[in-house]
Chains A and B, each alone.
Chain A
Amino acid sequence: MTEVTLNSSVQVRCGASNAFLVTASLIEPLITEFEMQGVYISASRGALELINTLNEIGVATDNVHFIDCVSSALLGGTESTFPNVSFIDSPIMLESILLRTLYNLNTMPGESKFVILDSVNALAIYNEDRMLAEYLHTFINTFRARDVLSAIMNVPDQTPPGVLANLDLYCTDLIDRGQVVIS
């Protein structure tokens, strides 16, 4: 990644086997090269596991706030020692995810911010297709209007076709399994 446009919305497609590598290669330049701050919405795996793995490969996560939509479903999963993690009761609370993201972005002092949604296919497990498509439409436009770079991750094989079609339509850029396809 050599440049970012703050009001762009990037659809990031990954394979079932390389999702974490794609995540790491996406977030690392945003933090280190572009010195951005942002919010990571974690619906695929718990934030604590993600932070530990990112830290192990040398990606600092201090300037990222994690919104964990997974761990509340696990008894004891929300016992976090990280101040930059907040928990959402369920991935079905889509509006809460949006408002928590906006709140955390507002508390960050910098000008250049990002939001990563990981992932659409995880949200699709819990949410009905029409509602998820509506949500993504709102999500993309909300952050574009606020000059926040949004990256929306998905595994295409596991994402409902209607939802995927909406992403194709509303996202400004597409990165397909690490390859920039449209920019």
Chain B
Amino acid sequence: MGASDSIELLGESRGPCSDTMLGTPQYKRDRCVTGVHGLDEILRGGIPYGSTLLVGGTCGSGKTTLAMEFVVNGARMGESTAYFAATEPSVKLLENVRQFSFFDMDMVDKGLLNVFDMDVAYSWLGLTKATFTMDDVNALVKAITDIVNTIGVTRLVIDSVTTLCYKIPNDQLIRDFLFTLGKTLATQGCTSMLVAEITSAGAKANWSSFGVEEAILDGIMVLGDIDRMGHLLRYLQVIKMRGTDHSRAKYALELTPNGVMLTPMLKWGVDI
């Protein structure tokens, strides 16, 4: 191969999201384009289809907005999407999200964005106990799967999986629940975000509340705050994403009226 061949090959690899320092992979999985400003670039094109992600973050870090924007952008492209609200009533959630210009109530009316209250789902399934058994967990997975199948959901969010896991008595059951849920959703071609609440997002922190979620799921995204001289700056970092190369740097996250925007965090400004 001569020098000109090398240059031509390099030229071929300059697709919008295919460049990596290691070159272009021979096979590239189809992507679920999130439409979130900057995120698809970080993920070299989007989330690999059918992946189940853990979106862990501290309170006020932008998890719900990010997750909502992910499903809304799917709905805008004509996909059927589902959002399971476990931390706040769906009415309150929708009222909060209406301030963002990316949101359009028409999507709810047209059935493209389906918001479910987990509390209602629990009552409907008869899961009114404080602690779930294995049978209860299976019933819940089946209920979610039935909804995905019936509506043809391609993007799903559970916000948050932490509140749900609090009802599951041990790590093994949590592991089984998440593994079964992730596997079932992947089989249906559904790309999912499981929102998790964590108390700190530093280098020594766990990426999840129970410490078992991160090993099972396909990807981990962490949202947190950096304290810069008394001011909290939101950031996002992709820790793991199976099936794609991705940036592992910290990105400053800003909540604008148009939703989440990301830019690389200043290297000299990360550890002030």
Residues of chain A whose beta carbon lies under 8 Å from any beta carbon of chain B: 89-90, 92-96, 98-100, 102-103, 106-107, 126, 128, 130-131, 134-135, 138, 142
A138 touches B264 (CB 8 A): yes
Interface segment among B9-17, B44-52, B142-150, B225-233: the answer is B225-233
Q: Does B21 contact A (CB under 8 A)?
A: no
Chain B residue nearest to A135 in the complex (CB)? B266
User: CA of A142 to CA of B231 in the docked complex: distance in angstroms?
Assistant: 24
Partner of B233, one of A93, A100, A135, A138: A93
A99 touches B272 (CB 8 A): no
Q: Which secondary structure dominates chain A's binding surface?
A: helix
Given contacts A93-B228, A95-B254, A95-B263, 7 further A-B contacts (CB under 8 A): A89-B231, A92-B231, A94-B266, A95-B269, A99-B252, A102-B263, A134-B267
Chain A residue nearest to B254 in the complex (CB)? A99
What are the residues of chain A within 8 A of B256 when measuring CB–CB?
99-100, 103
Q: Does B261 contact A (CB under 8 A)?
A: yes
Question: Please, could you name 14 A-B residue pairs with CB atoms under 8 Å apart, sorted by A?
Answer: A92-B228, A92-B229, A92-B231, A93-B231, A95-B252, A95-B254, A95-B263, A96-B233, A99-B263, A102-B261, A102-B263, A103-B254, A131-B268, A138-B266
Partner of A131, one of B257, B258, B262, B266: B266
What are the residues of chain A within 8 A of B267 when measuring CB–CB?
134
Q: Does B216 contact A (CB under 8 A)?
A: no
Residues of chain B whose beta carbon lies under 8 Å from any beta carbon of chain A: 228-229, 231, 233, 252, 254, 256-258, 261-269, 272
Q: How far is the CB of B13 from chain A (nearest CB, A)?
A: 20
Chain B residue nearest to A142 in the complex (CB)? B263
Chain B residue nearest to A104 in the complex (CB)? B256
A94 touches B254 (CB 8 A): no
User: CA of A95 to CA of B255 in the docked complex: distance in angstroms?
Assistant: 12
B266 touches A95 (CB 8 A): yes
Partner of B268, one of A90, A99, A107, A128: A128
Q: How far is the CB of A134 from chain B (nearest CB, A)?
A: 5
What are the residues of chain A within 8 A of B263 when measuring CB–CB?
95, 98-99, 102, 138, 142
B268 touches A95 (CB 8 A): no
User: CA of A172 to CA of B63 in the docked complex: distance in angstroms?
Assistant: 40
What are the residues of chain A within 8 A of B258 when measuring CB–CB?
103, 106-107
A96 touches B252 (CB 8 A): yes
What are the residues of chain B within 8 A of A94 when measuring CB–CB?
266, 269
Shortest beta-carbon contacts, A-B, top 3: A95-B252, A99-B254, A131-B268
